[in-house]
Amino acid sequence: MIKMTRTRWAIATAFAGAVMAAPAFSQSVTNASEFPGKTYLLPATMETTQWGWFDNAQAPVLTIDSGDTVVMETMMHSHNQVIPGATIEQLKKLRTDNPGRGPHTLTGPVFVNGAEPGDVLKIKVNRIVPRAYGTNFNIPGMFGEFPKEFQDGQVKYLYLDMQRKVAEFLPGIEIPLKPFPGTIGVARAEPGRYSSVPPGEYGGNMDIRELQAGATLYLPVWVKGGLLWSGDSHAAQGNGEVNLTAIETAFKELNLTVEVLKNVKLDMPRIETPTKWITMGFDKDLNLAWDNAKAQTIKYLAEQRKITPEAAAKLMPTVSDCRVSQVVNIKKGIHCMSPKDLKAKGIEPRPMTETKDLFVSVGTDADANKAMDMASMGMIEQLQAKKGLSRLDAYGLVSVGMDCRVGEMTDTKKSIHCVVPKSLWVKKKA
């Protein structure tokens, strides 16, 4: 263990973004930050990261105690090979040459002393500092919501202006930056090596954009020590993430305080923000992802308000704001946001047509998957027609800037309402 001053810590982190051939190690700074416990530094190196997989037999690269803080770095996808200059053909080859694994580079795992199966890890996101650039791309003919319709691909590299907190997607179009870890999870209970792509009860590739600085993630523990990883770092993302990618980046600092909870029982992750609790569900079928999210939300509301599950089920449509997290990670995701304030106003009516502030598209079908496809493609076509975007640019823009909201959900009718803020269009620079 190496004790470091603030100055030496700054020097170390300045160089840690590079891929270094150095042995895995742990560094700590005692009482050197405003965050709880000891502060551990975890740079992203070839020895502290894995490309595209989780394995509960993987040796930890860092061991901490409950209540300690980890200052973690992350890499871009494919061990830092997705960086400005890489072509879409090169990005496709990284996937086709490496089947069975995800694209994500994952820093970890971190072993938390005292964490046992049945416990919960409470992970407070203290601070996020991304790199100066990000990327959005769709691999031609592969992945995404519409691989058959988009046999052509493209990649964009974007400057992340963290002073203004925007990225220029196209001239006159700016995406607000709200960094969050797309993938953060613990080891799953099953032995073996698993792709980092699908999310699950262990967390992983949840792509829930509300998990920003100030939020807290609660993860069920499935193996001794928990084994915590993070990667797939995002600067911004649309709800749906339809072309496969958000604004993908890497984090110079992902600052997490990790605590073991012995008196909390969870079977799925939950997220706490200053004003909301977020429940979620995942499945290859969006209908079943909805069923799972609904069940988790009813369970939460019954706990929160001390009411029966039947009463919670009747309450949920009026207070729980549900969104399509993503439809591109093998297992699709829906998350529901329920207010902490029991007197909070109900959710806003879902928009049916364009408003002065929003472009709107609606998909309705007995099958939620088809409803989502209708709403998403409707928005892509709308932005081409009304804003003159190319097909690929419209596909990319909705992936990073669209918000797909769950509407009426019955056995015979399921509706998805996708919106794009008109505020993304700003005055072009001279």
What digits encode the pLDDT tens for the residues 131-169? 999 999 999 999 999 999 999 999 999 999 999 999 999
pLDDT value at residue 34: 84
% of the chain exceeding 70 in pLDDT: 92
Judged against a pLDDT cut of 90, whether residue 15 lies above it is answered with no
DSSP, res 412:
S
| Phi/psi at 317 (5° precision) | -65, -20
pLDDT value at residue 10: 34
Lowest mean pLDDT among 24-33, 210-219, 226-235: 24-33
pLDDT value at residue 3: 34
CB neighbours (10 Å) of residue 65? 14
pLDDT value at residue 263: 86
**Cβ contact 137:155 at 8 Å:** yes
For the domain with range 358-424, which CATH number is right: 1.10.10.10, 3.40.50.11540, 3.40.710.10, 3.10.28.20? 3.10.28.20
Model confidence, pTM = 0.92
How would you label 179-189 residue by residue, b for 16+ Cβ within 10 Å and e otherwise? bbbbbbbbbbe
pLDDT value at residue 380: 98
Q: Which amino acid is at 384?
A: Q
pLDDT tens across 380-415, in order?
A: 999 999 999 999 999 999 999 999 999 999 999 999
Q: What angle do CA 74, 76, 80 make, to 5 degrees?
A: 105
Judged against a pLDDT cut of 50, whether residue 1 lies above it is answered with no
How would you label 330-349 residue by residue, b for 16+ Cβ within 10 Å and e otherwise? ebbbbbbbbbeeeeeeebee
Stretch 82-90: mean pLDDT, rounded?
A: 97
pLDDT tens across 236-245, in order?
A: 999 999 999 9
pLDDT value at residue 101: 94
| Residues ≥6 apart with Cβ < 8 Å to 12 | 4, 27, 41, 43
- Structure token digits, residue 402: 């669209």
Judged against a pLDDT cut of 70, whether residue 321 lies above it is answered with yes
Cα dihedral across residues 12, 17, 23, 27: positive or negative: positive
pLDDT value at residue 272: 98
Judged against a pLDDT cut of 50, whether residue 193 lies above it is answered with yes
CATH classification code of 2-261: 2.60.120.580
The CATH 2.60.120.580 domain(s) of the chain lie at 2-261
The CATH 3.10.28.20 domain(s) of the chain lie at 275-339, 358-424
C-alpha dist (Å) from residue 210 to 256, 337, 388: 16, 9, 30
pLDDT value at residue 27: 57
**CATH fold label, 275-339:** Endonuclease I-creI (3.10.28)
pLDDT value at residue 39: 95
As a whole number of angstroms, the distance between CA 372 and CA 305 comes to: 32
- Structure token digits, residue 100: 């069975």
Judged against a pLDDT cut of 80, whether residue 17 lies above it is answered with no
How long a stretch of residues is the chain?
430
C-alpha dist (Å) from residue 163 to 86, 166, 325: 26, 8, 27
pLDDT tens across 18-60, in order?
A: 333 334 454 555 556 688 899 999 999 999 999 999 999 999 9
Helix (H) or strand (E) holding 105: strand 105-112
pLDDT value at residue 359: 98
pLDDT value at residue 14: 35
Burial of 273 by CB count in 10 Å (0-12 exposed, 13-18 middle, 19+ buried)?
Answer: middle
Which residue matches tokens 């494919």?
78
- Structure token digits, residue 5: 């001053």
CB neighbours (10 Å) of residue 358? 16
Nearest CA to 260 among 145, 362, 120? 120
Provide the mean pLDDT of the chain.
93
Helix runs in 234-308, H state only: 286-305
DSSP, res 429:
P
| Phi/psi at 369 (5° precision) | -60, -45
Stretch 214-227: mean pLDDT, rounded?
A: 98
Identify which has the larger pLDDT, 169 or 16.
169
Judged against a pLDDT cut of 90, whether residue 11 lies above it is answered with no
Nearest CA to 331 among 163, 203, 210, 156? 203
pLDDT tens across 348-376, in order?
A: 899 999 999 999 999 999 999 999 999 99
